[in-house]
């Protein structure tokens, strides 16, 4: 163990080596025996910090201050299932907005895809009709496909 590792352990765990990780204690004691002055200074700094932390106590709050803070705090709103109409109405509005957004997405998605499909079908029918034997070439298409093609032409 080097002196920097010793310092980092003292800063992290304090001057009491019983709080240090078990596997680091023996190497720390060996370093302390090799370099007693440096190790002693490091432990003295850690002990000073330990004492300062042990002496600190959180400030006590007076009853009057506690009451003033609680009086100035905002009141909680009524629960959604409570008697307030605003809570229930707000919840329904959120659900209605979500449902409207879903419905609009479905409508837009279906409108765009059916137009693309009908364009492809019309191109296939025109290519088949332009072939040499139109009567057999148009056989795979349904009657409604043929009527749609006539209306578009």
pLDDT digits (tens, 9 = 90+) for 80-97: 555 555 556 666 777 888
Q: Determine the Cα–Cα distance for residues 91 and 42; give it in Å rounded to an integer.
A: 62
79 in any annotated domain: no
Domain match, 50 and 97 both? no
Residue 59 is predicted with a pLDDT of 86
Whether 92 contacts 100, CB under 8 Å: no
75 in any annotated domain: no
Residue 152 is predicted with a pLDDT of 47
Ordered DSSP codes for the chain? --HHHHHHHHHHH-S-GGGS-HHHHHHHHHHHHH-HHHHHHHHHHHHHHHHHHHH--PPP--HHHHHHHHHHSPPPPPPTTSS-HHHHHHHHHHHHHHHHHHHHHHHHHHHHHHHHHHHHHHHHHHHHHTSS-HHHHTTTS-HHHHHHHHHH-
Taking only the tens place, the pLDDT of each residue in 91-123 is: 677 788 888 999 988 888 777 665 555 666 666
Q: What's the total number of domains in the chain?
A: 2
**Both tokens of residue 33?**
């025996």
Residue 116 is predicted with a pLDDT of 58
130 in any annotated domain: yes
148 in any annotated domain: yes
Domain match, 97 and 143 both? yes
Residue 153 is predicted with a pLDDT of 47
**Both tokens of residue 34?**
């090799």
Whether 149 contacts 125, CB under 8 Å: yes
Rounded (5°) CA angle 99-101-106: 95
Burial of 10 (0-12, 13-18, 19+ CB in 10 A): buried
142 in any annotated domain: yes
69 in any annotated domain: no
pTM reported for the whole predicted model: 0.40
Residue 130 is predicted with a pLDDT of 62
Structural domain that includes position 27: 3-55
Residue 44 is predicted with a pLDDT of 95
Low pLDDT (below 50) residues in the chain:
146-147, 150-153
Nearest to 7 by CA among 28, 26, 22: 28
64 in any annotated domain: no
127 in any annotated domain: yes
């Amino acid at each position: 163990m080097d002196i920097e590792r010793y310092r980092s352990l003292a800063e992290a765990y304090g001057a009491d080596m019983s709080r240090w990780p078990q596997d680091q204690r023996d190497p720390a004691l060996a370093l302390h025996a090799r370099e007693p002055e440096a190790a002693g200074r490091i432990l003295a700094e850690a002990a000073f910090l330990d004492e300062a932390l042990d002496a600190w106590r959180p400030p006590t709050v007076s009853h009057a201050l506690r009451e003033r803070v609680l009086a100035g705090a905002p009141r909680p709103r009524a629960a959604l299932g409570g008697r307030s109409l605003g809570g229930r109405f707000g919840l329904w509005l959120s659900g209605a907005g979500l449902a409207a957004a879903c419905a609009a997405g479905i409508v837009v998605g279906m409108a765009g895809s059916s137009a693309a499909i009908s364009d492809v079908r019309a191109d296939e029918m025109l290519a088949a009709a332009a072939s040499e034997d139109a009567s057999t070439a148009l056989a795979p298409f349904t009657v409604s496909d043929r009527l749609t093609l006539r209306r578009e032409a």
